[in-house]
Amino acid sequence: MESAPSALAPSSTAGQAAGNHAAFAPAVLALGVGSFAIGTGEFVVMGLLPEMARDLGVTIPQAGHTISAYALGVVIGAPVLAVLAAHWQRRVLLIAMMALFALGNVASAMAPGYASLNLLRFVAGLPHGTYFGVAALVAAALAPPQRRASAVALVMSGLATATMLGVPLAAWLGQHLGWRSAFVLVGAIAAVTCVLVQRYVPPLEAPHGTSPWRELGALAKPQVWLTLGIGAVGFGGMFAVFSYIKPLLTEVTGMPITAVPLALGLFGLGMVVGNLVGARLADKSLMRTIAGVLAWTVLVLVGFLFTAPYTVPVCINVFLLGTLVAIGPALQIRLMDVADHAQTLAAALNHSAFNIANALGAWLGGVAIAAGLGWTSTGWVGALLAIGGLLVFAASLWLHRRTRRMA
């Protein structure tokens, strides 16, 4: 399997590379603040569904459609914006994406009704995938080659930290000042990110010869589609459960609503642990890490069927649910490897896949609940999706081995 091309232009010199490595820490910190903003904006809705539903006059599953609207924006925006802006300077593209994200969230806070909120959540999701994809490319370019997954994980650690700190804070604001205040907070963090990226991220150019047509070449590669399928199906299991975690904790476990932000913090802590451990494992063995995390996902999601009625066990299970993001850095590097020269589109499509998982998991979980199967039925839905991800992974592995034999 060929190594992924560097995200730097081929004309980069050894001196430039050394300078890039020196800029790694402040650049990753700036990019991490952006992922913190996106993570807070994406996940806080799941903790405010009852408040949103009550204010907008809809049911909780209907309010959950705003999650799917945001995810749809990511799915569409990631490939479209990545292809159209593939030749842009990386720093300029990052700032543009974060500015659009800030505007989308502030506008969401001012949405007059349910329909307009869904539309504005869609708009806010458009820059999500391209920001994360380009941020991953920048981090990988600034890091030593053998630490690419760890570099990507550091950027994504802002997403994990968001679920541990940003989401509980925004959920607390939403419960005391109204759910709209949470979106204002997200917009403010995004605006700060624009300033930090301008100050600390080096002005890296896109690779020489980058064009929309070359980026679209990634779509002709079967392994790209299979890798996207692993994320879109297998990772959907986590969202099937987490999208409805608040009513599960309050209705099944009997947890007081004031304790829910603490449970969300445990989920975030699990994300931090899973993100870092998953990246280290992926640096050592990429394919084994993907398979292992998918199998772990099945076990964790089935666990909710047994732990949901009990406070301490379900809190441990919520922490373990967060560790499932360990698959993120591994799939990001896998896509960059199999996409060859179409790096921008491949990196962005990873987050399209994750948000297809978001939409699919939230929708199927809502279908199971609406069918009267109960809040814990999302555990079965999630486990079946994770098994589906394992099947797609098996197909990818078979094709990889078959291609090597033919070569």
- The structure tokens listed for 210 are 């980058």
Share of the chain above pLDDT 70, in %: 91
CB proximity list for 226: less than 8 A, separation 6 or greater: 392, 393, 395, 396, 399
Residue written as tokens 């969300």? 264
Residue written as tokens 């909710």? 304
pLDDT digits (tens, 9 = 90+) for 179-199: 888 899 999 999 999 999 999
Taking residues 71-94, what's their average pLDDT?
Answer: 85
Q: How far apart are CA 145 and CA 350, in angstroms?
A: 20
So what CATH class is 14-406?
mainly alpha
- Other Cβ atoms within 10 Å of 367 Cβ, number: 14
Q: How far apart are CA 224 and CA 79, in angstroms?
A: 13
CA atoms within 13 A on the CB side of 321: 34
pLDDT digits (tens, 9 = 90+) for 254-291: 888 888 878 877 888 888 899 888 888 888 888 899 99
* CA distances, 22 to each of 139, 144, 152, 201 (Å): 12, 11, 17, 11
Q: Can you give the pLDDT at residue 198? A: 92
7 confidence band (pLDDT: 50, 70, 90):
very low
Give the residue extent of every domain in the chain.
Answer: 14-406
- Other Cβ atoms within 10 Å of 401 Cβ, number: 10
Q: Can you give the pLDDT at residue 4? A: 40
* CA distances, 318 to each of 39, 164, 310 (Å): 17, 12, 12
CB proximity list for 392: less than 8 A, separation 6 or greater: 226, 229, 230, 233, 234
3-class secondary-structure state, position 376: coil
DSSP 146: G
- The structure tokens listed for 389 are 């991800």
Q: How far apart are CA 38 and CA 330, in angstroms?
A: 20
pLDDT digits (tens, 9 = 90+) for 92-119: 999 999 999 999 999 999 988 898 999 9
CA proximity to 359, closest of 31, 8, 35, 70: 70
Q: Can you give the pLDDT at residue 264? A: 77
